[in-house]
Chains A and B, each alone.
Chain A
Amino acid sequence: MTEANDEQRALRRSIAPRLGQLGTPLELIAEDVLGEEDGVIDWVAAAPDGRACVVLVAKRSGDAALLQAGLVQRAWVEARIPDWRKLAPTLAVREEPPAQLVLIAREFERATRIAAREAAGAAIVLARWHLAGTSGEIDLERVEPESRVARCLPGPAQRRPASAFRTGLCDADFLN
């Protein structure tokens, strides 16, 4: 148990400086927090807009249990933010927008990526950690949720796309 805790601490130390690679600078507020059902929350952090971030790190593959734990711990943290704000009014974390869940694992099963997409859309971030080179340093890479499979063809355009059709031809080119 102690060995496992040491490994988890070492992994945290390696990952903490890389969290910014996920796209948003995070202010780490609390580490190794015991949350709901004695589950460990690796970090509670705040995004620049005050959104709380609940970060869970897994040594191995990210599976349904990790996603479940993340959702449970995010709910636990969200419920406590008002109390934390009363006790520490200068705390960077706010009650709104709703807390984000960041799951970091060696790899994610496809089913987990689909479940993450279905569970809460943009409020769940999945990231994969891997060893960079031979130095033992760890890198993080964001994992996009599994995209939803379209069940039908695109219909008529409802709005103009951001990209524009380009051509150097003109209608006269088609007259012959």
Chain B
Amino acid sequence: MPRELGDVLHFFAPELTGNVAASADRRGEVLPLIGVPFANADPVCGALLWNLAVEAARQGARAALLAPRSLCATPAWPLPGRGPLGALAIRVDADEPGELARRAEEWVRAAAPRDRGLALAALPAACLSKAADAEALLRWTLLLVRPHEAEARDTWTALEAIATHSRDARIGVTVFGVRSIAEARDCFDRLAAAAEQRLGCTLVSYGLLVDDVHLSRSIVTGRPIALASAHATSARALADVAAMLLGDAHGAVDD
């Protein structure tokens, strides 16, 4: 039966009045585990990621690069097992994002308390539509972005998927394929402004990477840049990005 205002006035009584305390029940534990969306099996991105893992190991971290079976098929991808400086390449024999997330989280949590760990998990872009299965990989993501248009479109698709599924995610961006700092800064600024405006999310800059002749050599020879060409610009860029990631993961930056 409908009630008039008088019928509900008793609800204004003090016994129903009370502040409900806000509690921030965040499940947002940020592990040193970074999901890296891949639009396709890009050999340059693969090589940059592996070099980044090796560089993190060079800086004293327990580092691993994980990838599902489908991405490991490219020649630039390292063979599974322990590589230079102890960096670990892990092939996950499944293409389900949930399994990749499970293996990555398991590896991160197996670390000793004093370990400075860093796990990079290559996440096929197709998996972003099933992102609910891979929540652990979306809490902290790193997008590798080329400034030209086609890549920006792929990046934008990934950004939308991450922002939709994981509202409090830390979304990092590393620009690569540039010939100057100004070019990288311009690319990041445009993407960050658009992300704020359209998705309401703030991007975190993780510098730039250089894909030069040393990276090509690294792909061909399988020798990481940090060891083969330690003074090259690409090596310095890798060191810079790895230091930022480790700093954000563990609160300190080691050189």
Contacts and interface: CB of A to CB of B under 8 A. Distances in A.
Interface string A21-44: 111111111110110001000001
Given A34-B2, A154-B194, A164 B205 contact: yes
Contacts of B123: none
A158 interface: yes
Contact of B207 (A33, A34, A38, A169): A169
A116 B190 CA distance: 29
A163 interface: yes
Contact of B193 (A87, A158, A170): A158
Contacts of B220: none
Contacts of A150: 156, 160, 194, 198
Among A147, A155, A170, residue most surrounded by chain B Cβ atoms (within 10 Å): A147
A148 B152 CA distance: 17
B206 A33 contact: no
Interface string A98-132: 00000000000000000000000000000000000
A147 B160 contact: yes
A154 B193 contact: yes
A139 B205 contact: no
A167 B184 contact: yes
A27 B19 contact: yes
Contacts of B9: 87-88
A175 to B, nearest CB: 9
Contacts, number: 153
B184 A165 contact: yes
Interface string A6-25: 00000000001111111111
Given A29-B17, A34-B1, A165 B22 contact: no
Chain B binding site: helix, strand, loop or mixed by DSSP?
A: helix
Contacts of A165: 184-185, 188-189, 192, 205, 207
Interface of A: 16-31, 33-34, 38, 44, 80, 83-84, 87-88, 91, 139, 144, 146-150, 153-171, 173-174, 176
B196 interface: yes
Given A165-B207, A167-B237, A169-B237, 19 more contacts: A26-B20, A28-B20, A29-B11, A30-B8, A88-B9, A146-B164, A148-B198, A150-B156, A154-B191, A154-B194, A157-B189, A157-B190, A157-B193, A161-B192, A167-B184, A167-B205, A167-B208, A168-B244, A171-B180
A148 B156 CA distance: 12
Given A162-B196, A165-B189, A174 B180 contact: yes
A75 B36 CA distance: 45
A28 B16 CA distance: 7
Nearest to A176: B233
A25 B11 contact: no
A167 B149 contact: no
B164 A166 contact: no
A22 B131 CA distance: 23
Contacts of A31: 11, 16
B233 to A, nearest CB: 5
Contact of A33 (B3, B153, B243): B3
